[in-house]
Amino acid sequence: QAHLWNSGGGSVQVGGSLRLSCEANGSINVLKNGMAWFRHSQQREREAVAYIFPNLDTTTYTDSVRGRFTISRDSAKNIIYLQMNNLKPEDTATYSCARRTRQDLNWVNDVAYADWGQGTQVTVSA
């Protein structure tokens, strides 16, 4: 059974940093799958934040986080990371990773993904 476990969330002040982790179990190989981070809150619908392509180090980001967030993978540990710097109050959300299973849809479309992590809360205060 596929499983993704998210961790690393917390409460920080504006300008602070956090690193989120997405640990995959053996049935998901984070190197061979496109993996993304999404976020959602009561104020906003689920939003794609960052994506890393399978078998490549190529990454892409939504405009609001580009230059501040970095998605990466450790293939040996089978973990995806999201390094978040210069955090802003609008980054407050629950962050979840997901495995892309449909290539016919844009990476920002959550329908393209299966096997979601349980989410980790990030709170940024002024």
Q: What is the mean pLDDT of residues 70-75?
A: 97
Confidence check: pLDDT of 98 > 80: yes
- Provide the pLDDT confidence category of residue 2 given band limits of 50, 70 and 90: confident
- What is the DSSP-derived secondary structure letter of residue 12? E
Instruction: Give the pLDDT confidence score for residue 74 in this predicted structure.
Output: 97
> What secondary structure, in 3-state letters, does 40-108 show?
ECCCCCCEEEEEECCCCCCEEECCCCECCEEEEEECCCCEEEEEECCCCHHHCEEEEEEEECCCCCCCC
* DSSP H or E stretch at residue 125: strand 120-125
Tens-place pLDDT, residues 7-61: 999 999 999 999 999 999 978 999 999 999 999 999 889 999 999 999 999 999 9
> In the beta sheet, which residues pair with residue 69?
66, 84
> In the beta sheet, which residues pair with residue 123?
11
75 phi, psi to nearest 5 deg: -65, -35
